[in-house]
């Protein structure tokens, strides 16, 4: 189970496959030892947002139930344990030269036995494995840890400064045919009687998925190790049976708890929830300043109002145009009627009126023309007009600076520079003393303000010119203004003349003419009113359209903000949801694992125990606060257990832990029978082949443990049996296959 048990459970759980993918990715970041917390949070945030943006995940309303069935299915799903195939050790500690240990086992003979006297190198055999996988030696005394692991015998054969190789190659396989090989290699250089490590340790991994294919390099060796057995839980797979009873010492409940946490990778789960909380805070940080729905509603209502207004104005313009068309038609008809009336006086008055009307049009054009010119003057005049009162004080200030000598007009810095270069005084005499040179230099030293000497001169001159120019412009403006006033007056007068002509026409002593003229006057007045209304409505329409445009732009911005806010809220909800989901998983798993661990430990214990009462009735319990107990009925048996029995309880518990972990690495037990009385060793030996279903088992034993009785009982179940032979003369251990 390469991704671990939790991921397998999530895969079995009835949640969306995309959500499963997301959690798997987040879990992957959290497990990555090389990634900083900041990077984990950043990657998690990006992934949550990416899945959200791609519409892959949304908040789930009801978290589906996580049943024990799902957990069991997940746990059982892909049991295909990794098995040692071969170990090759080169110059590691007391293992001189290259020594190869065949470790392949069969289905019915899953046990390897490495036997040696105390001090023959059993622990370092185990260390060769942990060094290869994790670059660490766990079970060494501090005295040994401080010494170089390079083989002493080999070192003695090296010349000064010569390089020697230390290497461990470990090969695993699985029933499926998959093969994985790890090679860790260090170089050591001889310096006097010591070996010093040279450079970094190389760590390579090779894999193949089929037994028939050659091994190929796999780039992420550390990741591959983690798939087989994460370093933080390896102590439950490779352990010294003499030291495992610590779990049951009173007050060590937290050891049990943390062991469960570690193997079930609950720490990762716990940290992942914290990371998601952090991601949520990051989404929240962006939330401030985003619009509320109310603002959008208000603005939308305002835009709707403008739209209604615009529609009304447009309708009104259409109506006014229609009115104008009808009015013009009627006017033209009445004017024709008047023309065709046959009265000479009417004809004359009408001609005069037409002339005046043309005059009126041209006067109106003139007014518009002057108005355009005035407009141009307006924005040229206004800035100077409104600020002119400060021009004079500034000019005075600049003049004062001149008078104070702060703006030396005749001695410019360039001039001073050239004098200094030529070593001449202002009076053209040669500079003779240092005092003279210094005096001239000081004259040329100018402060920031005098650096702006040219600017001040320009400002002074510009202000004066601007005042003069604006006077000319104002004068033109006033002239034009008078012209426009006159033009308007003239326009008004012409209009009056037209009114008079209309009246004259109305006064003609003929009922029909009077009626026609009265209609014409009315229609002409209508025409003017309609035109004023049209112009005003067009202006209103223009303003409403402009205002609507502004608000539409604002609404667009608000909507973008609202979408952002909505998205952020949804992402926050999603984070809550993920935490809720993982918390449900955590709670359920913790409860289930505790129960299951107790059951599994009981089963293993029953296999290993030799007392009939234990085999039949023993029950291991792990309480809610992780206290460990072995009971027969209601009676607690822990205190009465012998040292050997306690040891098998411990071994059973650890074996159950490895099962719970979901990782399927081989199990190595150092000194499994040391504490067991001689009479019961045979019992254990009989039980061992049934122990740890499916897992490969390696026993590191002393000859005292591995008696002839034990050997003959285990015989058929042991695939490889090696004897460690230590040579005190060369301080080397040789592995001999028995």
Partner 1 sequence: MANIKKLQDLRTELRTTLGFTEIAREKYVDPLITSTHSPFKVANAPMKEVFVNAVALGYYNKYRIPLEGKMDRNIRNNVFSTNDLSLFLTIAATEESFEVISDMAQISTIMEEYANGGIQPLYKMIFEIDGDPIYTFREKFDNLLTDLMEE
Edge-to-edge strand order for the sheet containing 95-102? 95-102, 83-92, 163-173, 179-191, 194-208, 216-217
Cα–Cα distance, 20 to 336 (Å, whole number)? 89
Nearer to partner 1, 89 or 456 (CB): 456
Q: Which two tokens stand for residue 355?
A: 């002339």
**152, 446, 534, 559: which one binds partner 1 (CB under 8 A):** 446
Using CB under 8 A as the binding rule, whether residue 374 contacts partner 1 is answered as: yes
Segment contacting partner 1 by CB under 8 A, of 357-365, 468-476, 496-504, 645-653: 468-476
- How does 24-44 read in b/e, with b if 16+ C-beta sit within 10 Å? ebbbbbbbeeeeeeeebbbbb
- How does 700-729 read in b/e, with b if 16+ C-beta sit within 10 Å? bbbeebbbeebbebbeebbbbbbbbeeeee
Contacts of 168 (CB under 8 A, 6+ apart): 87, 88, 89, 90, 92, 128, 129, 131, 132, 183, 184
Nearer to partner 1, 33 or 455 (CB): 455
**98, 215, 301, 394: which one binds partner 1 (CB under 8 A):** 394
**165, 301, 439, 449: which one binds partner 1 (CB under 8 A):** 449
Using CB under 8 A as the binding rule, whether residue 403 contacts partner 1 is answered as: no
The CA-atom distances, in angstroms, between 26 and each of 47, 229, 279, 685 are 8, 20, 11, 44
Nearest approach, Cβ of residue 309 and partner 1 (Å) = 16
Cα–Cα distance, 34 to 39 (Å, whole number)? 10
What is the SS3 string spanning 526-548? HHHHHHHHHHHHHHHHHHHHHHH
Contact between residue 197 and residue 188 where contact means Cβ atoms under 8 Å apart: yes
How many CB atoms neighbour CB 565 within 10 A? 19
Segment contacting partner 1 by CB under 8 A, of 53-61, 451-459, 583-591, 657-665: 451-459
Using CB under 8 A as the binding rule, whether residue 467 contacts partner 1 is answered as: yes
Nearer to partner 1, 28 or 413 (CB): 413
Nearest approach, Cβ of residue 295 and partner 1 (Å) = 14
Using CB under 8 A as the binding rule, whether residue 459 contacts partner 1 is answered as: yes
Segment contacting partner 1 by CB under 8 A, of 4-12, 46-54, 86-94, 372-380: 372-380
Residue with tokens 């798993």: 589
Q: Which two tokens stand for residue 327?
A: 């009015």
Segment contacting partner 1 by CB under 8 A, of 36-44, 102-110, 543-551, 616-624: 543-551
Q: Which two tokens stand for residue 657?
A: 């832990």
CA diameter of the chain: 156
Using CB under 8 A as the binding rule, whether residue 471 contacts partner 1 is answered as: yes
Cα–Cα distance, 226 to 633 (Å, whole number)? 41
Q: Which two tokens stand for residue 600?
A: 């599994």
**345, 388, 495, 583: which one binds partner 1 (CB under 8 A):** 388
> At 188, phi and psi to the nearest 5?
-125, 145
- Which segments of 349-422 are extended strands (E)? none
**16, 372, 489, 496: which one binds partner 1 (CB under 8 A):** 372
**78, 118, 475, 493: which one binds partner 1 (CB under 8 A):** 475
Segment contacting partner 1 by CB under 8 A, of 204-212, 470-478, 585-593, 606-614: 470-478
Nearer to partner 1, 484 or 724 (CB): 484
What is the SS3 string spanning 228-271? HCCHHHHHHCEEEHHHHHHHHCCCCHHHHHHHHHHHCCHHHHHH
Cα–Cα distance, 246 to 647 (Å, whole number)? 10
Nearest approach, Cβ of residue 377 and partner 1 (Å) = 9
**336, 362, 365, 371: which one binds partner 1 (CB under 8 A):** 371
Using CB under 8 A as the binding rule, whether residue 383 contacts partner 1 is answered as: yes
Closest CA to 150 of 194, 201, 98: 194
Nearer to partner 1, 314 or 675 (CB): 314
DSSP 625: T
Q: How many CA atoms lie within 13 A of 524 on its CB side?
A: 17
Using CB under 8 A as the binding rule, whether residue 405 contacts partner 1 is answered as: no
Nearest approach, Cβ of residue 409 and partner 1 (Å) = 11
Using CB under 8 A as the binding rule, whether residue 458 contacts partner 1 is answered as: yes
Segment contacting partner 1 by CB under 8 A, of 30-38, 107-115, 380-388, 571-579: 380-388
Using CB under 8 A as the binding rule, whether residue 386 contacts partner 1 is answered as: yes
Binding residues for partner 1, total number by CB under 8 A: 57
Nearer to partner 1, 415 or 726 (CB): 415
Using CB under 8 A as the binding rule, whether residue 376 contacts partner 1 is answered as: yes
Using CB under 8 A as the binding rule, whether residue 387 contacts partner 1 is answered as: yes
Using CB under 8 A as the binding rule, whether residue 478 contacts partner 1 is answered as: yes
Nearer to partner 1, 231 or 413 (CB): 413
Q: Which two tokens stand for residue 185?
A: 């290699």
Using CB under 8 A as the binding rule, whether residue 287 contacts partner 1 is answered as: no
Segment contacting partner 1 by CB under 8 A, of 347-355, 472-480, 669-677, 730-738: 472-480
Using CB under 8 A as the binding rule, whether residue 481 contacts partner 1 is answered as: yes
Q: Quote the Cα angle for 314-319-325, to 5°.
A: 125
Question: Which residues sit at the interface with partner 1, rule CB under 8 A?
Answer: 371-372, 374-376, 378-379, 382-388, 390-391, 393-394, 397, 412-414, 416-417, 444-446, 448-456, 458-459, 462-463, 465-467, 470-471, 474-475, 478, 481, 484, 539, 542-543, 546, 550, 553-554
């Amino acid at each position: 189970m390469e991704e671990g048990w939790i991921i397998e459970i999530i895969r079995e759980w009835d949640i969306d496959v995309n959500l499963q993918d997301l959690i798997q990715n987040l879990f992957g970041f959290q497990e990555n030892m090389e990634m900083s917390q900041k990077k984990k949070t950043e990657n998690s945030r990006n992934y949550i947002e990416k899945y959200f943006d791609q519409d892959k995940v949304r908040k789930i309303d009801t978290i589906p139930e996580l049943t024990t069935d799902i957990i069991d299915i997940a746990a059982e799903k892909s049991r295909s344990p990794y098995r040692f195939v071969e170990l090759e050790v080169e110059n590691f500690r007391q293992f001189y030269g290259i020594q190869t240990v065949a470790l392949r086992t069969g289905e019915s003979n899953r046990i390897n036995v490495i036997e040696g006297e105390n001090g023959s190198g059993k622990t370092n055999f185990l260390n060769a494995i942990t060094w290869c996988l994790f670059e660490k030696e766990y079970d060494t005394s501090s005295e040994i840890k401080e010494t170089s692991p390079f083989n002493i015998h080999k070192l003695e054969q090296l010349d000064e400064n010569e390089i020697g190789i230390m290497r461990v190659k470990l090969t695993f396989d699985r029933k499926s045919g998959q093969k994985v090989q790890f090679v860790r290699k260090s170089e050591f250089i001889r310096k006097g009687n010591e070996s010093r490590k040279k450079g970094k340790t190389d760590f390579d991994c090779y894999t193949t998925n089929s037994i028939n294919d050659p091994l190929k390099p796999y780039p992420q060796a550390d990741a591959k190790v983690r798939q087989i057995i994460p370093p933080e839980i390896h102590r439950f797979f490779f352990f010294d049976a003499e030291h495992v009873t610590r779990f049951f010492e009173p007050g060590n409940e937290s050891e049990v708890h943390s062991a469960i946490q570690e193997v079930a990778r609950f720490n990762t789960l716990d940290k992942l929830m914290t990371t998601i909380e952090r991601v949520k805070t990051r989404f929240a940080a962006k939330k401030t300043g985003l619009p509320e729905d109310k603002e959008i509603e208000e603005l939308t209502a305002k835009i709707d109002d403008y739209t209604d207004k615009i529609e009304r104005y447009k309708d009104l313009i259409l109506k006014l145009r229609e009115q104008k068309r009808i009015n013009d038609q009627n006017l033209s008809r009445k004017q024709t009627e008047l023309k065709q009336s046959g009265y000479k006086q009417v004809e004359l008055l009408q001609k005069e009126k037409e002339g005046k009307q043309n005059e009126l049009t041209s006067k109106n054009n003139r007014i518009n023309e002057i108005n355009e010119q005035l407009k141009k003057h307006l924005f040229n005049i206004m800035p100077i007009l409104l600020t002119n009162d400060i021009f004079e004080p500034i000019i005075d200030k600049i003049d004062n600076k001149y008078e104070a000598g702060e703006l030396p007009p005749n001695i410019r810095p360039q001039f001073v520079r050239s004098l200094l270069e030529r070593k001449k005084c202002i009076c053209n005499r040669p500079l003779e003393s240092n005092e003279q040179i210094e005096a001239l230099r000081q004259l040329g030293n100018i402060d920031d303000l005098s650096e702006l000497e040219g600017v001040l001169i320009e400002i002074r001159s510009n202000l004066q010119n601007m005042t003069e120019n604006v006077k000319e412009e104002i004068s033109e403006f006033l002239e034009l203004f008078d012209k426009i006033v006159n033009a308007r007056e003239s326009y008004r007068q012409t209009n009056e003349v037209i009114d008079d002509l209309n009246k004259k026409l109305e006064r003609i002593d003929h009922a029909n003419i009077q009626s026609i003229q009265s209609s014409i006057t009315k229609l002409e007045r209508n025409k003017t009113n309609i035109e004023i209304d049209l112009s005003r409505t067009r202006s209103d329409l223009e303003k409403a359209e402009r205002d609507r445009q502004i608000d539409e732009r604002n609404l667009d911005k608000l909507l973008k903000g609202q979408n952002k806010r909505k998205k952020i809220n949804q992402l926050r909800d999603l984070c809550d949801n993920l935490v809720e989901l993982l918390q449900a998983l955590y709670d359920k798993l913790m409860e289930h694992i505790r129960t299951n661990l107790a059951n599994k430990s009981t089963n293993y214990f029953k296999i290993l125990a030799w007392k009939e009462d234990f085999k039949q009735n023993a029950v291991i319990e792990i309480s809610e606060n992780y206290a460990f107990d072995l009971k027969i009925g209601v009676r607690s048996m822990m205190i009465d257990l012998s040292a050997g029995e306690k040891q098998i309880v411990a071994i059973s518990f650890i074996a159950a832990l490895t099962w719970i972990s979901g990782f399927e690495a081989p199990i190595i037990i150092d000194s499994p029978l040391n504490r067991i009385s001689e009479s019961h060793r045979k019992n254990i030996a009989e039980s061992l082949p049934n122990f740890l279903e499916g897992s490969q088992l390696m026993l590191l034993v002393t000859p005292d443990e591995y008696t002839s009785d034990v050997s003959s009982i285990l015989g058929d179940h042991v695939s490889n049996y090696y004897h460690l032979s230590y040579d005190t003369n060369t301080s080397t251990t040789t592995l001999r296959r028995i």
